Amino acid sequence: MNETCVIDASDPSKQKKVVQQVVDLLHSGEVVALPTETVYGLGADALNADAVAKVFAAKERPEFDPLIVHVGSYEQVAEVADVPEELETVVQKLMKAFWPGPLTLVLPKKSCVPDIVTSGLPTVAVRMSGHPIMKAVVRGLGRPIAAPSANRFGRISPTSASAVEKELGGRIPAIVDGGACREGLESTIIRPEAGEKRPVLHLLRAGPVTKEMLQRFGKVERPKRRLSRKDRAQANPEATQQAPEVPGQLAAHYAPRTPLRVLRNAAEFKPEAGKRYALLSYCGSEKAGFIQAHAWDVVEELSPGNGKLAEAAVRFFFVLRQLDESGVDEIIAEPVSETGLGVAIMDRLRRASYGSQSGAGGDQTRS
């Protein structure tokens, strides 16, 4: 096992030196974990297929799961994507409204983008991060960076450098510690398409840019499907199901090692004798009935006392990781309202539940 260097980027006076150190590593074909405003990403030169292959190897990520490409300017989009004439106006409006920030656009790709980045698909997922370190590194490299979340495939996304080290320590040469991520959930992913009256924005992954925020730019359509046993098979690299169009579409994802169940209400919880249970609560309110439903061994709250979805989103992966490391036998999660950011939180919870229960048999998610 190789040693992983953690590079402290907290001192603004040293960030220029840190950025150059990272750029040199990326130029040499190495991979580096970098902070973004959503989660930490494992970055490589997006136009270097050999470097991108190291990302897949470090994460143990199947090659059917495409990556997001990070750009440093609006002009750099044209280096990796061909924006159809009929979409130019809406794409420009979306970039102006949400970039730099947590919105990813799926666009027709250019031939210079290696197939390993897009899993052989004719499209490429592109975004511009709002994190100053990621922005500076992309601009310093002068080339786009492919950067999926810096964790082992299917596991809990990292929102701190220490979480990255737990996931990938010894597997990658360097981690840039840029502090905690301010959004806490992966970017929203949409695929714009020309419509009869208005553009159609296919919402492929829910995230910090919500459906309500997107509606003024076009008709927002979400895939109308429930997670099923058939969906779960997509999480198996040997399965013959259709490969995902973008990251985060597999049924089993964002998963703790500890089994996790999402319940509609507290009355559904029937504890087994001798098992230790943790509760993942939204805000610790007794009105939901979960807090008093059991003598929980561990309780963690997403938005303690407040019930604010923005705070819950920021804390989500941090709290989930704490519960996973608490030593309990099972995590019980109460639902949050599926409005605004709640849609993205519930999406992650459902996929985390499927992932943690894989191989257990049966559909144990009741949300």
Pair of tokens at residue 10? 């907290």
Report how far apart, in Å, the C-alpha atoms of 218 and of each of 108, 213, 277, 298, 330 are. Answer: 19, 10, 44, 44, 42
pLDDT per residue, tens digit, the chain (367 aa), is 589 999 999 999 999 999 999 999 999 999 999 999 999 999 999 999 999 999 999 999 999 999 999 999 999 999 999 999 999 999 999 999 999 999 999 999 999 999 999 999 999 999 999 999 999 999 999 999 999 999 999 999 999 999 999 999 999 999 999 999 999 999 999 999 999 899 999 999 999 999 999 999 999 998 765 444 444 444 444 433 456 887 777 777 889 999 999 999 999 999 999 999 999 999 999 989 999 999 999 999 999 988 899 999 999 999 999 999 999 999 999 999 999 999 999 999 999 998 777 533 333 332 2
The pLDDT value recorded for residue 1 is 52
Return the pLDDT at 230: 43
Residues of the binding site:
38, 61, 70, 123, 127, 147, 149, 157, 187, 205, 254
Sequence-ordered alpha helix ranges (H) in 99-239: 115-118, 132-141, 161-168, 211-214, 229-232
Is residue 144 reached through a cis peptide bond, with omega within 30 degrees of 0 on the bond before it? Answer: no
Enumerate helices (H) and strands (E) in the chain, giving the number of each.
Answer: 11, 15
The pLDDT assigned to 267 comes to 94
Query: Which residue numbers belong to the known binding site for L-threonine?
Result: 38, 70, 127, 147, 187
pLDDT value of position 305: 85
Write down the residue that tokens 């810096």 correspond to: 150
Q: Are 22 and 4 in contact (CB under 8 A)?
A: no
Q: What structural domains and CATH numbers belong to the chain? A: 5-177 (3.90.870.10), 254-357 (3.40.50.11030)
Backbone angles phi and psi of 184, in degrees to 5: 90, -15
Angle between helices 132-141 and 15-27 (to 10 degrees): 50
The pLDDT value given to residue 224: 62
Q: Where are the alpha helices (DSSP H) in the chain?
A: 15-27, 49-59, 74-80, 88-98, 115-118, 132-141, 161-168, 211-214, 229-232, 309-324, 341-357
The rounded radius of gyration (Å) of the Cα atoms in the chain is 20
pLDDT (0 to 100) of residue 354: 85
Binding region for ATP? 61, 123, 149, 157, 205, 254
Tell the residue number behind the tokens 């144990």, with chain if given.
364
